[in-house]
Amino acid sequence: MFIDTHCHLSYEYYDDIDNIICENKKALVDKIVISGCDRKGIEESLDTYKKYDGVYVSIGYHPDEALNVGDNDIEELKFLLQNNDVVAIGEIGLDYYYTKENRDKQIWLFEKQLEIAEKLSMPVVIHSRDAVEDTITTLKKYKVNGVIHCFSGSLEVAKIYVKMGFKLGIGGVVTFKNSNLGEVVKNIGVENIVLETDSPYLAPVPYRGSVNSSKNIPIIAEKIADLCNISLEEVAKITSDNAYKVFNL
């Protein structure tokens, strides 16, 4: 019924992955897309997705990895993308939250992966934090589509991404009291949204601050149903259809 389009299902955060998958199914979250975004994460997530039904994988180098990734890694990534059943490249993008000093290297890494996405006609999962302008400018150079992961910008920015053909990944933040994301969701409509947890991070209220997992997707969906004044079933159906389409599940 529900699809968690973005989570980090790793032994780094969870002791018992079998149990997590079992809990997800009980919560009617029957499909998840796990994201591997550094060398270790990529390797581990490529192992994990093969073991379970309904588990898909997205791989790509996170902007935090900008100073650790070279041409060889990009070549290897391309090889892995072509030799595994990967549904998207990501999360990739730009993050100036901690520093902008490595901006050039971040853009280099982002562009290298966008080139691959364009060449292989694969969707991208975009991480963008404090870097809206550069993200949009860079994306516009390539013929790609996909998801703006953990979208947290203004309605104006949301509309730009939607116009470019992207879906917005909406997660636990929409349940936070101090977030303006509710207004964005109301205005942009569920037809432009996919659900995600970004677990283990960003657990929704009332679990804010604890270890998140995909089983919390219905809490996020419930909030969106409230905001858009539609049923939970409609949210499940529309967001899952969106995910099927974007990722070719």
| Residues engaged in binding Ni ion (CB under 5 A) | 198
| Identity of the residue, 134 or 198, whose beta carbon is nearer to Ni ion in the bound complex | 198
Burial of 206 (0-12, 13-18, 19+ CB in 10 A): exposed
| Identity of the residue, 44 or 198, whose beta carbon is nearer to Ni ion in the bound complex | 198
Q: Least distance in Å: CB of 230 to Ni ion?
A: 27
| Identity of the residue, 95 or 198, whose beta carbon is nearer to Ni ion in the bound complex | 198
| Identity of the residue, 4 or 198, whose beta carbon is nearer to Ni ion in the bound complex | 198
Q: Least distance in Å: CB of 150 to Ni ion?
A: 7
Rg of the chain over all Cα atoms, to the nearest angstrom? 17
Q: In three state form, how does the secondary structure of 120-144 look?
A: HCCCEEEEEECCHHHHHHHHCCCCC
Distance (Å, whole) CA 48 – CA 152: 29
Q: Least distance in Å: CB of 73 to Ni ion?
A: 19
Compute CA 151 distance to the chain's CA centroid, rounded to the nearest angstrom: 9
Q: Least distance in Å: CB of 234 to Ni ion?
A: 26
Pairing type for strands 29-36 and 88-95 reads unpaired
Q: What residue is closest to Ni ion based on CB?
A: 198
